[in-house]
Structure 1
């Protein structure tokens, strides 16, 4: 489809929505309402000053509620029983630690009930698909994990399940989009730049916010265009007796969120064997310390076969990015070792100059500190001055930008040659080793079932290469808003982290 054709379709679909608005099917879900009421009652009673001991059970319960809202497929297509078991286990454990046991009972009972019943939202969705025919509609999931869950069910009836970013790929014959989430949790483009003439949100009635998003720039425009919504109440929408009124101000965030706490490293500078790093939570109950390096290997499942494995700038890592990681050790270290081995007799001389300029940098940092060093390098025109501390790592060969390296050596008072040339030679050897690994990764990805990656958020890659058998692909779930000071050997090595368990 050409870009012009795409724009024309969106224009026509937008005109249709402006005339008739969107529909919202608010489906009665008494069991989901029971769990929702239990969570909201607990948050209301405990208030903002609740003990951190509650975080685990509330996070797990919130994740289950989110799945009830965005993945209404029948129970046989769900994998939520471990989550329900965890909620019940935590509720029992907390009973001896906190008061308000009745609140724990409400949450546990609500979770168990969810595991024993199918969501009525799913039945309404299936009926709607069958009414228009699977070839005349698309189902829009909130994100990849929800799409995988819904697709495992709806593939049987021939329905197409997408995420919002894929809507521009649908065919011209599609008349209606069924969006499986409340409007407030979806990108505004679903209604402001639609690809289908009709858009219907299918959601549980117990979620009270039915507001429809407007264009991000709309609030600044004169005569803002507002898309109207028609709400259709379906089924038993009676609220439980324990429900807290929607008007009450409760810190209730339906979308599963990590609990980051606050920075514990204080305002000190890292020592020579430490580095500033962001904590990243990954699918599969894993975490990662990510330093401010130039880039990290990633995978894009949407790309054609042979072009899926690449690199992502560290600053561009966001939830939904897929990282390719080596278990137990960084890929960077292994690539460095292979590059050194490939250099043969030349390696000794090259490593000697590397050691010399990095030792000089270590000495300068110890004398003036990282902050002063960054200020001076920025003044000299070094664009990547913020990485002055990571450059002391032997495996980080030199600044990515050659001009930055030349300025750095001059600032250190180190001779340009042979140091500069040796570093470039070593970097090229690392690039070659990395390119060889990329080919093997592409082949492994080509053999893998990427539907498993979308469903589970993690995938093991079986490589025949010595030292790289433990390669995984993992989806980023969240990235901390602040850095911590950690040991340099901890960065870019995945580790088990329970706080990531229920985020996907």
Structure 2
């Protein structure tokens, strides 16, 4: 179907909703937002430094997540509380090393964090519960823009004896979901998308957000009336202030002096525009972290001629990232909610989008295959193939010790090699040099008899290794088919292992958090390899 036509169909089949915004009192949340904003503004470029990045990353994530998260802070499902609680431990080493003004800003963040936690998140909880308790359970849904938060809210509602579907905006708008009598949208509509009300799937919609957030009151459809008569064209939202319960009314902090917060220039309790709180991903900083390779793989990076590909960096759950090539084979996608036996699907790389789950080997494709599994695939050729491999590696080891890497590289190049990396070739991960031309040049330089025999044995070994890797990958995918994947839904990653092969590299299911907009040229040896990028878990 033509995308323009499909969009028009979506509007024409939409409900004509009654939309109300419930503004929830949240002075402590407002105080925390201002405190974090002032500290970030004062730090400016220093905010991405190692001593500040995790503290500020968690604080920034907590401030926008608290806007949409109704789970009480005392509940184990509260992701906001999980972000807030470690902040004092992260801040302690910084006190004493800062100037007076910056230390006051940091202390205000800690005090505001304590006040926010003490509120228990009761106001947001009560606002949501008031909606779901009086509505039809079979025709009511909750919409949240963050997948991890949606999972935790769904779990909390179920434990609270009020199970309701908690959907992403895309799920809510999907025609297959049908329509609802009542929908509760958590957070500002400018975060969720105007189509949730201009092409609403519910007869009545309530938006719940803090009273200190300023958002638009009128939202327009995709098409202007003069282009195509879609229905409805625009939706006006009326706001209703929810009074704070007497026992839950937060005690406001002393009103700051006008000069106490010079960075923001805001005075009193002025509302904050919703768009100021969105969390932009610093791709440059994440790319720098992703370029810190494991020592073994750095050896491969130092070669004079490395095959490179165009790839985008995908930020994954569990403090990981992976370079995803723009062109190439499909990736293995995991569908956690599909029936057992139907969870694994092949997905073209071009169709990978944030929110999906994919399967990657912990050490990259085809790595860490147990020798005993490869030997099984070698069959009767095993002894001879392994003997020849051990022989050329022993010769290489002696040559490196005798001549050193630089002199040996020169000799191998003189024999016609293009890529020369003898230090990496000696490692256990390397079965043989990638190119036959390089392998033959190395064998001639080492004085190995009948070099062609070694090259042929290397081909047999590499083929057996590939078949072993494939069989292990299918076995690990079988684990994904049968495993309880709750951890994956909540934390954004889950490892899968084979008990009978404990030395095998794990396969890990990751949620794709974000994909960089711009491709980069990277060595082909590192694509699809999960890389540690410490300090990104709060983005999930």
Same-fold status (TM-score > 0.5): yes
1:181 to partner: Cα distance: 1.8
Q: Which residue of 2 aligns with 1:16?
A: 16
Task: Classify the secondary structure of the residue corresponding to 2:313.
Answer: strand
- CA 1:497–1:37: 2 relative to 1, 3 Å: same
Unaligned 5+ segments in structure 1 are: 1-5, 350-362, 367-392, 398-424
Q: Which residue of 2 aligns with 1:286?
A: 320
Task: Classify the secondary structure of the residue corresponding to 1:307.
Answer: coil
Q: Which residue of 2 aligns with 1:134?
A: 137
Q: Which residue of 2 aligns with 1:314?
A: 349
Deviations 1:381-437 (A, max 9, x none): xxxxxxxxxxxx99999xxxxxxxxxxxxxxxxxxxxxxxxxxx9999999767755
Task: Classify the secondary structure of the residue corresponding to 1:175.
Answer: strand
Deviations 1:40-67 (A, max 9, x none): 33345x2856654454433211111122
Task: Classify the secondary structure of the residue corresponding to 1:311.
Answer: strand
Query: Whole-Å Cα distance in 2 between the matches of residues 121 and 452 of structure 1?
Result: 26
**Within 5 Å, which residues of 2 pair with 1:363-402?**
none
- Matched-pair contact (CA < 8 Å) for 2:40–2:47: no
Query: Whole-Å Cα distance in 2 between the matches of residues 395 and 13 of structure 1?
Result: 60
Q: Which residue of 2 aligns with 1:193?
A: 199
Q: Which residue of 2 aligns with 1:470?
A: 506
Deviations 1:300-336 (A, max 9, x none): 2244432221333334433222121222x22334689
- CA 1:271–1:314: 2 relative to 1, 3 Å: farther
1:105 to partner: Cα distance: 1.4
Deviations 1:105-130 (A, max 9, x none): 12112222233332211111001111
Query: Whole-Å Cα distance in 2 between the matches of residues 143 and 220 of structure 1?
Result: 35
- Matched-pair contact (CA < 8 Å) for 2:171–2:177: no
Alignment counterpart, residue 162 of structure 1, candidates 131, 154, 167: 167
**Within 5 Å, which residues of 2 pair with 1:493-504?**
493-504=529-540
Q: Which residue of 1 aligns with 2:28?
A: 31
Alignment of 1:40 with 2:37, yes or no, is yes
1:174 to partner: Cα distance: 3.1
- Specify the structure having the higher radius of gyration (Cα): 2
Query: Whole-Å Cα distance in 2 between the matches of residues 220 and 247 of structure 1?
Result: 35
Moved more, 479-488 or 56-65: 479-488
- Matched-pair contact (CA < 8 Å) for 2:307–2:523: yes
Q: Which residue of 2 aligns with 1:226?
A: 234
Q: Which residue of 1 aligns with 2:181?
A: 175
**Within 5 Å, which residues of 2 pair with 1:473-484?**
473-482=509-518
Task: Classify the secondary structure of the residue corresponding to 1:232.
Answer: strand
Alignment counterpart, residue 272 of structure 1, candidates 286, 300, 305: 305
Task: Classify the secondary structure of the residue corresponding to 1:127.
Answer: helix
Task: Classify the secondary structure of the residue corresponding to 2:197.
Answer: helix
Task: Classify the secondary structure of the residue corresponding to 2:538.
Answer: coil
Deviations 1:148-177 (A, max 9, x none): 110121112122222222224787683011
Deviations 1:197-219 (A, max 9, x none): 12211111122124555444449
Query: Whole-Å Cα distance in 2 between the matches of residues 142 and 187 of structure 1?
Result: 9
Q: Which residue of 1 aligns with 2:125?
A: 122
- CA 1:37–1:324: 2 relative to 1, 3 Å: same
Q: Which residue of 1 aligns with 2:284?
A: 260
- Matched-pair contact (CA < 8 Å) for 1:64–1:111: no
Q: Which residue of 2 aligns with 1:379?
A: none
**Within 5 Å, which residues of 2 pair with 1:26-175?**
26-43=23-40, 46=42, 52-53=48-49, 54-75=52-73, 76=75, 77-95=77-95, 96-97=97-98, 99-119=101-121, 120-155=123-158, 156-167=161-172, 168=174, 174-175=180-181
- Matched-pair contact (CA < 8 Å) for 2:215–2:274: no
- Matched-pair contact (CA < 8 Å) for 2:353–2:515: yes
Query: Whole-Å Cα distance in 2 between the matches of residues 457 and 215 of structure 1?
Result: 33
1:256 to partner: Cα distance: 5.9
Query: Whole-Å Cα distance in 2 between the matches of residues 55 and 16 of structure 1?
Result: 45
Query: Whole-Å Cα distance in 2 between the matches of residues 219 and 396 of structure 1?
Result: 61
- Matched-pair contact (CA < 8 Å) for 1:136–1:174: yes
TM-score between both structures, scaled by the size of structure 2 = 0.66
- Matched-pair contact (CA < 8 Å) for 2:186–2:208: yes
Name the structure, 1 or 2, with higher relative contact order (CA <8 Å, separation 6+). Answer: 1
Query: Whole-Å Cα distance in 2 between the matches of residues 434 and 454 of structure 1?
Result: 27
Task: Classify the secondary structure of the residue corresponding to 1:305.
Answer: coil
User: What is the CA RMSD across the aligned residues, in angstroms?
Assistant: 4.8
- CA 1:67–1:247: 2 relative to 1, 3 Å: closer
Query: Whole-Å Cα distance in 2 between the matches of residues 212 and 281 of structure 1?
Result: 34
- Matched-pair contact (CA < 8 Å) for 2:213–2:271: no
Query: Whole-Å Cα distance in 1 between the matches of residues 33 and 21 of structure 2?
Result: 20
Task: Classify the secondary structure of the residue corresponding to 2:515.
Answer: strand
- Matched-pair contact (CA < 8 Å) for 2:493–2:511: yes
Query: Whole-Å Cα distance in 2 between the matches of residues 270 and 215 of structure 1?
Result: 55
**Within 5 Å, which residues of 2 pair with 1:342-361?**
342=377
- Matched-pair contact (CA < 8 Å) for 1:325–1:471: yes
